[in-house]
Amino acid sequence: MRYREKITVFLSHRPKLYALMVGIGIVLFWRGVWHTTDFIHTYFNIYQNNLTISGSFSPWWDGPLSLVVGIIILYFSNAFVSSFIGNELILLGLRREKKLSQKVEGEVKTEIDSILDIKNSLVDVNEKIKELEDVLEKKEVNK
């Protein structure tokens, strides 16, 4: 099992820790996006200083580091995609899965009907075999 899967299995048995880690990962990711964007904005607009963070107190690597750490946490917790595509898309996938299970249910019903047809055919074949055996016995008795 890969390291990422081991982490996911470990965290899935501890939902509170899992939620905490994913929450931290999301916050660090968006903090990294925010600070990196502010840094880029400062870089291209040197004379404007209307940032949401103070550029003098944070080094240039603060934003990218937060972004990378957030991505790593979300990637290894298997929450990277699910935390950004949203619950609605996940629910849409589950609805499609439900449709698939309904389709499978229809196929099972069709298979059951086919098995019943085969069973009925076997019963008919058994009855005909018994009739033939009876006819053969009567012929042997008459001889």
Overall number of domains in the chain: 1
Tell me whether residue 13 is in a domain: yes
pLDDT value, residue 140: 80
Q: Does 48 have pLDDT greater than 60?
A: no
Closest-CA residue to 24 (of 52, 53, 62, 66): 66
Q: For residue 142, tell me if it sits in a domain.
A: no
- Please give the single-letter amino acid code of residue 95: R
Maximum separation of any 2 CA atoms in the chain, in Å:
122
- Domain of 13 in residue numbering reads as 3-85
Nearest-angstrom CA–CA distance, 121 and 118: 5
Residue-level pLDDT at 122: 92
First to last CA, the chain: 76
Q: What is the spatial distance between Cα 24 and Cα 31, in angstroms, rounded to a whole number?
A: 10
**Is residue 42 over pLDDT 80?**
no
- In this prediction the pTM is 0.47
